[in-house]
Structure 1
């Protein structure tokens, strides 16, 4: 623990002067501006090294919480490491008779919707198909080929328009394996003929997420290389692949836990095959192929899983290829990092004893100056994160509103942290975290209002650009994840009551009413609590069931715990849980700090590639400058950005919290309308105009591929509100 004594003005001046060179702090070009003047506040404070002493603090809220321990690694289910395939047998057609196209076929018009064909129970590719479509907001239907007949009525509407703009096969032959080593297609020959006739007539692309490169049900011009089968390899895009996977850097994508059939080209009459992804030996792992009837197909010979890195990274490019870059919805990625409990003091873990220090920890002015430089360095070092900034989720009860606002003389203020926060107010996003971080599960309206509205008032007095529609309650309290026997007598102390997910209907109505009355529209929620996120729509937020004015923004917890300030403390807490002998042992050894950052950045990468606009949250303790220009919070962000930038060039969005809430609510309303079938679109490819229609009143709609709109990656997305029908010009790729 740092000593709790004040730096004298002289010693601090000498320290800053030593860091800054011959010009002393508190001067500009040799002049002495007035503390708090425009000249003072317009000057960037000089970075200082780690504090040798910590300014005293008193009468600030002390946050004593519990360690939130999410799973230490991505959850892999139904891994396809043994997903072996073989030559397919196609049953003779018995379900259908020959089907000619209807007389009214409008082959140049298709709905903006994708058909996913599954082989039935145990189809590991189905989750992957769903995930990549959901991440891009593409509407889709699933047909279980093992129990449903694929006839013309499933492909063509009564008015002759096509029902689908693209088809995904979870495996190229929709294989079932009734007995070991025997592979039978779930579709019979007449159903395959019906599908191929539709794709040819309506010029619909077909994506096979995984396939054995043989000849049935059709030939892609590839053959498996005997003996090359593997579950561990890598794939690299060639020049043609980079044209489809426009967001990839070209770095080889690792393939683990996924079976692959490296292949070679095979000349086939009428078939043109173009390799896209190859293994280290140059063998083909993915290729486009044009059939003799003109149909465009893409086959991947590596199995997929929604939680595996190569599947997540390929999804964006695959969807854009399948839809020709024109589809409802958009693919967008985010990096939002919240720092909770700002202005408060918090528990502080002793890495030697594993106990808490007697005195809690509160970041210093020097720490915040360093964090400002750190986030600037992150923006500079990572092009994909040019918008990045921390959101400071603050408890105004720990600030001193009367403290001098100054960039050069902050050490003269009655509270240095408040003073430097006034200086750096425009460099961070500011979010209401209640005045004193009280537990709001059981609390009266008056107190809840004092905590919520009162914190907005403090933010205004401090001159902070606070988000006026957003609130994160302490420990996400008041939302039904609570001790069912809580009587409200421990709302302002450090008793850690055991929590149960009682559901959002057990939210505290007094908290909801106080938030609503204060103008709050967006509430931070806990993504690790089942009732506080929507499993049916993985990129959606949640409308609060008790108050239609309040919308939940789920936040990801991470394993950078609330009471750690340096790497040693991080490891002490983490390994006490996940190392051998820990409370939830997972790894086979105690991790080093490098290993810890590697594992946690895997989780962050998983979340970022998932496309959800959900913040990660840390705590003010994690901002401590433990070494020159370093904090464990920024170490984690840097590790995540390093890993992301290794593979992808798609920008990561960082929104102000109110903007984030607006985006997520609009996105959720759109996704729910598409799922309900009340929002849809038809693409006329003779005119390249998409007619977007809403049958459920006014709803948000987003169209990727529009001629106007906001560019993101290689495509534009146009967002609008639709009530009835709106026509939008598009350019396919």
Structure 2
């Protein structure tokens, strides 16, 4: 006990000295003209654990600048008064608006670095996030052995408290489900506890304590010694749903809702091959007649094509979900239908009559392959070659004709097209590994000929946006709802073929490629496997994209809206799951393709400017000043009522406003509403300083150090 008192007394003296060295006297109120400058940058102190990595990933995705100090690295920066603060133009400057630590104190007892952080937080009212810490009095909580709990929380359904809803987690409906993807892998571990006696602690997210009638905090705010800490007592990684749900609130809490970068939840669905028909999987041949890997001349083609009733269903579904589908169309499909059916195409007539209920994208006229000329005499196919060994490419004229003819057909039908958008059949023309390692050199000129600015690409092949002549790619997520399946039993049969071993009657593909695929333990029941297995897993994957501030669209095919309409259970699963998690002020954002491309393009330019140190942002009182290179749009999140010059800033989302502001290179000034909390605190250092005893090691199960797979191929 004597040693503890000496440590606390020594810490009080260190903190008092550091407060003086940080440039602001304790207990001083600050008028607007003498308010300190607070830079809009976060300090992330990492120990290499998954929780600090997750918060850093969230900041990365949002475009929020941060500086990381890795405690495991030799030669790292020393956290002292000079590292944290200085003076600019005679005004005290805090270099970080928030501090993220691995736990409530990752430093040795009596650490000068922890003392410097405590003094800094007191002086400038800087919040601290304890990314994953043990429940103990130093963090405002009782030890778990005192009526609490230490252990797995896999599958637990936590709740946002009333204080959490009124505070940083008001964008959630209330329930925070914890993942439990594998019965054999521990995925989450938590310390559930109640506030320590006399502690000023407010739980924001809690869960029932097993065997008790009380609830224990998982996320809460601890106020002490002129400091504020967000205390998180469960471990997580950046992919887990529970973190994805709470990540926004963690960032908004620690920044006071004033920061660079923005985060929204996006979902867009492209439906390819509209007007055309898709070949059908043959459950006997285990291939698709018409494809080159199926024995030629065997099987019945029996293609899948939507009907007018399917159009009615799609329109009714959109209306009920307040959601718009993007239809990628091939005009030749209708022309062929009319040729074969005495000029009649009831599907096209219905879609054209209802054209304004959907968004439309040029998918080329015949869905031709626009890369190299394919040699299909071998399986897999290869690129045909000229006599000199060079690759035979589909010509510029052929590519341009596919684009222009489909555009003209759509315009003649009155489809509300945006001619800057294009998705080629099978994303062809772009490189396809291993057969075609380069883009068709004739693709870019053909895109120029037709004014194409946005080109759909396959995210599973190329997740990064890139330039192809005048066009920028928009990577799309392929949904695991197969193009050649109109019925659930067909989908399951093909799924079994791909994901079961040879001994189980499958193709063994999953055995041949163990690094990218996992075999099912047994084939799925063709009558129940789709609803019971495939739908929940595909829903979880797609919802994970939605919750990750990822605007990339997903794509399915028109066949999935026909016959058994197998796409809807997945789409409803995503939207129903989302609605059960989020409040009305945080809707799904449903953008068209060019707007998604613009969002991705702006993010890339912003990230480059931030990484190059070309962005400066700070707050003084109720004014935020941001300077970025000319032509680089600025992204930010601010409280409702913030103005940009004489106009309101951004648009409402999740209880705040966020958006992009064009920059000419001159400083931008944002005026915060007068209700925004001040950043300068009054501190009484005569109170007991924060204990400096290092936080004990916390348990991290395997499932929090690596993502537990959702599906056999993820």
Question: Does TM, normalized by the shorter one, top 0.5?
Answer: yes
TM-fit CA distance, 1:287: 4.3
- Tell whether the 8 Å contact from 1:429 to 1:656 is kept in structure 2 after alignment: yes
In structure 2, the residue matched to 1:391 is 326
The yes-or-no answer on 1:642 pairing with 2:563 is: no
Relative distance call for 1:193 and 1:345 in structure 2 (3 A) is same
The yes-or-no answer on 1:301 pairing with 2:233 is: yes
Residues of 2 paired with 1:470 and 1:260: CA distance? 48
The yes-or-no answer on 1:168 pairing with 2:100 is: yes
Residues of 2 paired with 1:350 and 1:554: CA distance? 30
TM-fit CA distance, 1:483: 4.1
Match of 2:21 among 93, 101, 123: 101
Match of 1:720 among 652, 658, 661: 661
- Out of 357-366 and 517-526, give the one that drifted further: 357-366
The yes-or-no answer on 1:632 pairing with 2:562 is: no
- Tell whether the 8 Å contact from 2:363 to 2:422 is kept in structure 1 after alignment: yes
Relative distance call for 1:231 and 1:569 in structure 2 (3 A) is same
- Tell whether the 8 Å contact from 1:221 to 1:289 is kept in structure 2 after alignment: no
In structure 2, the residue matched to 1:196 is 118
Residues of 2 paired with 1:697 and 1:480: CA distance? 34
The yes-or-no answer on 1:553 pairing with 2:471 is: no
**Does the residue aligned with 2:56 lie in a helix, a strand or coil?**
helix
In structure 1, the residue matched to 2:432 is 481
- Tell whether the 8 Å contact from 1:273 to 1:287 is kept in structure 2 after alignment: no
| Higher RCO structure (Cα 8 Å, ≥6 apart) | 2
Match of 2:271 among 318, 322, 339: 339
- Tell whether the 8 Å contact from 2:205 to 2:220 is kept in structure 1 after alignment: no
Relative distance call for 1:373 and 1:103 in structure 2 (3 A) is closer
Relative distance call for 1:513 and 1:304 in structure 2 (3 A) is same
Residues of 1 paired with 2:397 and 2:109: CA distance? 64
Relative distance call for 1:363 and 1:205 in structure 2 (3 A) is same
Relative distance call for 1:187 and 1:365 in structure 2 (3 A) is farther
Residues of 1 paired with 2:122 and 2:494: CA distance? 59
TM-fit CA distance, 1:104: 8.2
Relative distance call for 1:451 and 1:154 in structure 2 (3 A) is farther
- Tell whether the 8 Å contact from 2:205 to 2:217 is kept in structure 1 after alignment: yes
In structure 2, the residue matched to 1:493 is none
Residues of 2 paired with 1:726 and 1:647: CA distance? 36
Residues of 2 paired with 1:432 and 1:125: CA distance? 43
Q: What TM-score does the superposition give when structure 1 sets the normalisation length?
A: 0.74
- Out of 220-229 and 460-469, give the one that drifted further: 220-229
Residues of 1 paired with 2:158 and 2:108: CA distance? 29
Residues of 2 paired with 1:288 and 1:328: CA distance? 24
Cα shift readout 1:656-703 (whole Å, capped 9, x = no counterpart): 22232233322332233223221231111x2x1111101x32211122
TM-fit CA distance, 1:646: 1.9
**Does the residue aligned with 1:334 lie in a helix, a strand or coil?**
coil
In the TM superposition, what are the counterparts of 1:91-170 in structure 2 within 5 Å?
Answer: 99=18, 100-103=20-23, 108-120=36-48, 123-147=49-73, 148=76, 149-159=78-88, 160-170=92-102
TM-fit CA distance, 1:284: 2.2
In structure 1, the residue matched to 2:151 is 230
- Out of 462-471 and 230-239, give the one that drifted further: 230-239
In structure 2, the residue matched to 1:76 is none
The yes-or-no answer on 1:618 pairing with 2:551 is: no
**Does the residue aligned with 2:495 lie in a helix, a strand or coil?**
helix
**Does the residue aligned with 1:508 lie in a helix, a strand or coil?**
coil
Relative distance call for 1:102 and 1:273 in structure 2 (3 A) is closer
In structure 2, the residue matched to 1:360 is 303
Residues of 2 paired with 1:447 and 1:428: CA distance? 29
Residues of 2 paired with 1:167 and 1:110: CA distance? 13
Residues of 2 paired with 1:453 and 1:154: CA distance? 59
- Tell whether the 8 Å contact from 1:401 to 1:462 is kept in structure 2 after alignment: no
TM-fit CA distance, 1:473: 1.5
In structure 2, the residue matched to 1:453 is 404
TM-fit CA distance, 1:265: 1.7
Cα shift readout 1:411-437 (whole Å, capped 9, x = no counterpart): 996222221121011111111111221
Instruction: Count the aligned residue pairs.
Output: 575
Structure 1 segments unaligned to the other structure (5+ residues): 1-88, 175-184, 380-385, 405-410, 487-501, 535-541
In structure 2, the residue matched to 1:467 is 418
Relative distance call for 1:267 and 1:374 in structure 2 (3 A) is same
In the TM superposition, what are the counterparts of 1:55-94 in structure 2 within 5 Å?
Answer: none
**Does the residue aligned with 1:637 lie in a helix, a strand or coil?**
helix
- Tell whether the 8 Å contact from 1:370 to 1:625 is kept in structure 2 after alignment: no
Relative distance call for 1:170 and 1:471 in structure 2 (3 A) is farther
In structure 2, the residue matched to 1:417 is 347
Q: What TM-score does the superposition give when structure 2 sets the normalisation length?
A: 0.76
In the TM superposition, what are the counterparts of 1:304-703 in structure 2 within 5 Å?
Answer: 304-351=236-283, 354-356=286-288, 357-377=300-320, 379=321, 386=322, 388-400=323-335, 414-442=344-372, 443-484=394-435, 502=437, 506-529=438-461, 532-534=462-464, 542-544=465-467, 547=469, 549-579=470-500, 581=504, 582=506, 583-584=509-510, 585-591=518-524, 592-594=529-531, 595-626=533-564, 631-649=565-583, 650-684=586-620, 686=621, 688-694=622-628, 696-703=629-636
